[in-house]
């Protein structure tokens, strides 16, 4: 993967997550993280992806606790896409737990 592809793909996935989020605070947080991803040097994206995964989990939990099953299904698909991107790009380790991705 090229360095610019990594930035663009991460921004795209975060845009999907931002559009899917139902909590105003999460929408704002994803937007901030997306902007950060777009200006972070590609070689330093690991911590950004880790925080994105943690935030994606929060978006999923928000939908679940609100009883929005369709939103939960959509959010978990985006979460899985984000996780897979991080692992395939070498920015996350496959065995890394959700708790560990919170470290930055």
pLDDT exceeds 60 at position 104: no
Query: 8-57 pLDDT, tens per residue?
Result: 999 999 999 999 998 899 999 999 999 999 999 988 999 999 999 999 99
In terms of phi and psi (left: phi > 0; alpha: psi -120 to 50; beta: otherwise), the region of 67 is: left
Query: 58-102 pLDDT, tens per residue?
Result: 999 999 999 999 999 999 999 999 999 999 999 998 875 444 554
Q: How many angstroms separate the CA atoms of 29 and 69, rounded?
A: 22
For residue 4, name the pLDDT band (cuts at 50, 70, 90): confident
How many other CB atoms are there within 10 angstroms of residue 12's CB atom? Answer: 13
Global pTM? 0.86
First to last CA, the chain: 23
Helical ranges in 21-89 per DSSP H = 24-39, 46-65, 69-88
Asked if 22 contacts 71 with a C-beta cutoff of 8 angstroms, the reply is yes
> Residue 102 has what pLDDT?
47
Q: How many angstroms separate the CA atoms of 90 and 73, rounded?
A: 26
């Amino acid at each position: 993967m090229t360095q610019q592809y990594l930035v663009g793909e991460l921004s795209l996935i975060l845009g999907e997550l931002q559009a899917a989020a139902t909590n105003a605070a999460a929408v704002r947080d994803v937007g901030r993280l997306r902007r950060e991803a777009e200006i972070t040097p590609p070689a330093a994206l690991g911590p950004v992806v880790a925080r994105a995964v943690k935030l994606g989990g929060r978006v999923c939990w928000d939908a679940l606790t609100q009883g929005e099953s369709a939103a939960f299904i959509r959010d978990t698909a985006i979460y899985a896409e984000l996780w897979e991107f991080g692992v395939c790009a070498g920015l996350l380790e496959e065995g890394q737990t959700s708790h560990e991705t919170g470290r930055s």
